[in-house]
Amino acid sequence: MSSAMRRLVGSALKNASSSSFKTNVMPRRFYSSGGSPPPRKVVVLGAAGGIGQPLALLMKLNPLVSKLALYDIAGTPGVAADVGHINSRAEVAGYMGEEQLGTALENANVVIIPAGVPRKPGMTRDDLFNINAGIVKSLCSAIAKYCPEAIVNMISNPVNSTVPIAAEVFKKAGTYNEKKLFGVTTLDVVRAKTFYASKAGVPVEEVDVPVVGGHAGVTILPLFSQATPKPNSVLSEEDIKALTKRTQDGGTEVVEAKAGKGSATLSMAYAGAVFASSVLKGLNGEPNIVECSYVQSNVTELPFFASKVRLGEKGVEEVLGLGFLSEYEKQGLEGLKSELKSSIEKGIKSASEN
Ligand SMILES: NC(=O)c1ccc[n+]([C@@H]2O[C@H](COP(=O)([O-])OP(=O)(O)OC[C@H]3O[C@@H](n4cnc5c(N)ncnc54)[C@H](O)[C@@H]3O)[C@@H](O)[C@H]2O)c1
């Protein structure tokens, strides 16, 4: 990749955060003293997969990463050798098989989990749930043992349940810190921004749209009433409904277009890299870093909920409220609660079994 291309990718990631394109403030700690970014180790679990590989590439390009550990049950030496030749700060190491998981995780600051199986034709939601729940449980047990202080970014689906599963595993191990567990819902925000920009006729780089609730179907609630910049001509109720539905069905749009060859990987890797970059900025003390994420929450009566979150040196600095909601959004909020509640309960129940 040419240096021009590298700058382009770097600046796209930098600008993508809903907060950073507005504030563009350098991290307090090291930029104010003119120093270089502090050392940060990022681990990707599931690094040889459809999401894991492009995510490894994007994290290697992130100047805030000093060590990048790539773990999978197979294929990581090749991915690590390949990504490791790129000219950027992060030292890359590949780890394969359970016996190397502990070393991969040691001293991690951020662990990103895209391990698991994606939705495939013929697979029921329960099949997907059972396989991924088992994978998430075993990986989170290892995190509790080898890097209990790390921030965990959960990508493995169903996020509405895998985050409560992770919380239960950490509680059992005595390491749970609700400020350090995030469900990555950034892809919903990425999609909402793209669809809104196109309909509203505004530049996508300037768009901000909060997406709240959860991370599946109707639990995904984009708040287009809060979208900025405002459209050139007012969007009709029908337009808003169509944008909402397209955001909720974004994953299916990709699954169908890929015709049985997997689900979203490239846009998910981009979204995962944007979110991880914001987490790292928060850790480094950069102020006003805000992203939507699915976290332990008091915003509604549900114990986990996605909303805007201010990121800081300890992970979650503040879970922000919902703000103004239109009548349509209020209905969407009430309508999503029962499904989200049962997904949370399913995760908690699954974690308590064996
Ligand atoms: N959060 C989101 O927005 C979002 C979007 C798309 C996909 N996903 C989810 O991300 C996950 C991965 O999707 P993908 O398309 O990359 O799948 P994939 O099958 O291409 O890759 C998954 C990788 O996980 C690895 N893996 C399996 N068990 C493991 C274990 N115990 N430890 C470490 N690695 C293990 C596999 O070897 C594989 O390399 C799926 O659960 C998918 O549903 C989430």
Check which CATH number belongs to the domain holding 177 and give it: 3.40.50.720
Count structural domains, the chain. Answer: 2
Residue 172 and residue 41 share a domain: yes
- Domain end position, chosen among 132, 166, 184: 184
Query: Rounded mean pLDDT of 286-291?
Result: 97
Query: Rounded mean pLDDT of 291-309?
Result: 98
Ligand 1 atom 28, closest CA: 116
Query: Rounded mean pLDDT of 43-72?
Result: 98
Within-domain flag for 272:
no
| 112 bridge partner residues | 44, 153
Are the beta carbons of 1 and 60 closer than 8 angstroms?
A: no
Within-domain flag for 111:
yes
**pLDDT at position 212 over 80:** yes
Residue 153 and residue 64 share a domain: yes
Residue 242 and residue 173 share a domain: no
Domain that holds residue 116: 3-184
What's the rounded Cα separation, in Å, for the pair 227 and 82?
40
What's the rounded Cα separation, in Å, for the pair 51 and 46?
8
Residue 346 and residue 210 share a domain: yes
Within-domain flag for 51:
yes
For 196-210, the pLDDT digits (tens) are 999 999 999 999 999
pLDDT of the residue at 7: 52
Query: Rounded mean pLDDT of 318-324?
Result: 97
For 43-57, the pLDDT digits (tens) are 999 999 999 999 999
Residue 174 and residue 71 share a domain: yes
CA-based max dimension of the chain:
58
**pLDDT at position 34 over 90:** no
pTM listed for this prediction: 0.93
Residue 173 and residue 38 share a domain: yes
Q: How close is the Cα of 260 to the center of ligand 1, in Å?
A: 16
For 110-128, the pLDDT digits (tens) are 999 999 988 776 777 788 8
Within-domain flag for 190:
yes
pLDDT of the residue at 262: 86
Residue 174 and residue 200 share a domain: no
Q: State which ligand 1 atom lies nearest to the alpha carbon of 45.
A: 33
Tell me if 191 is assigned to a ligand binding site. yes
- Domain end position, chosen among 184, 215, 235: 184
**pLDDT at position 136 over 60:** yes
Q: How close is the Cα of 239 to the center of ligand 1, in Å?
A: 33
HSE (side-chain half, CA atoms, 13 Å) at 212: 29
Residue 118 and residue 173 share a domain: yes
Within-domain flag for 102:
yes
- Domain end position, chosen among 127, 155, 184: 184
Residue 238 and residue 179 share a domain: no
Residue 216 and residue 114 share a domain: no
Residues with C-beta less than 6 Å from any ligand 1 atom: 45-46, 48-52, 72-74, 114-119, 132, 135, 138-139, 155-157, 159, 184, 187, 262-265, 268
Residue 310 and residue 215 share a domain: yes
For 227-274, the pLDDT digits (tens) are 999 998 889 999 999 999 999 999 999 989 998 888 899 999 999 999
Within-domain flag for 277:
no
CATH number of 293's domain: 3.90.110.10
Residue 203 and residue 152 share a domain: no
pLDDT of the residue at 354: 62
Within-domain flag for 307:
yes
Report the range out of 2-11, 68-77, 121-130 with the highest average pLDDT: 68-77
